[in-house]
Amino acid sequence: MVRRPRWTEPDTQTVSAGWEQLHRATEREGLDSPGRFELGEVSALIGSGTFAAVPVQESKKTVSRSRFRPYARTRGRTRPDNDLALEALVSTSERGRRYAGVASVEQRAICDLCVETRSVAEVAAHLRLPLGVVKVMVGDMADAGLVLIHQPGLMFGDRSSREFMERVLHGLRSL
């Protein structure tokens, strides 16, 4: 005959304390905020050699961040159908000025930005999007007739190349 241990009721206080400890809410406030990747406080801690709380001055410029990945705007494509140079100039066509065929908010923003001719790099900087994403979007917009692309054939020494280089330098300094 095999004896089986008799079932006894566990102590309810011990069980409920264990349950609460396992299933209590986690402290996630601030962990999911867009600023969680800012390294200012970490750099200050590492540089000071102490791990006490160090106040960090917040920048005056606020950067808005999107809630989804940049390449979701291009349906995962990372390269445009047409090879666009970084310095290729983009201007809005008549169709783009009327927003005829504009499919997204970003395309509308590109149409608004390129009323004045801008380089692909400038458009990416203004929209705060990766250059690859902007190249794909501008390429799609050119295929739809919303923007015109002017591939520059610059020669060193002529007036237009100097003006262009000054404009690029100004754009880089403003970043």
Residue 54 located in a structural domain:
no
- Does residue 40 sit within a domain? no
Does residue 41 contact residue 54 with C-beta atoms inside 8 Å? yes
Q: Look up the pTM and report it.
A: 0.47
The reply to whether 48 falls in a domain is no
- What is the pLDDT tens value at each position of the chain, 175 positions in all? 667 766 666 666 666 666 566 555 555 445 555 555 555 555 555 555 554 554 555 545 544 555 555 555 555 565 666 778 888 899 999 988 888 878 788 888 999 999 999 999 999 999 888 888 888 888 888 888 899 998 766 555 556 677 878 888 888 888 7
- Domain assignment of residue 167, given as a range: 70-174
Rounded distance between C-alpha atoms, residue 48 and residue 162, angstroms: 46
In the DSSP assignment, the letter for residue 67 is: S
Has residue 137 been placed in a domain? yes
Alpha-carbon distance of 165 to 158, in angstroms, equals 11
Q: Give the number of domains in the chain.
A: 1
- Is residue 159 domain-resident? yes
Q: Is residue 64 part of a domain?
A: no
d(CA 22, CA 90): 57
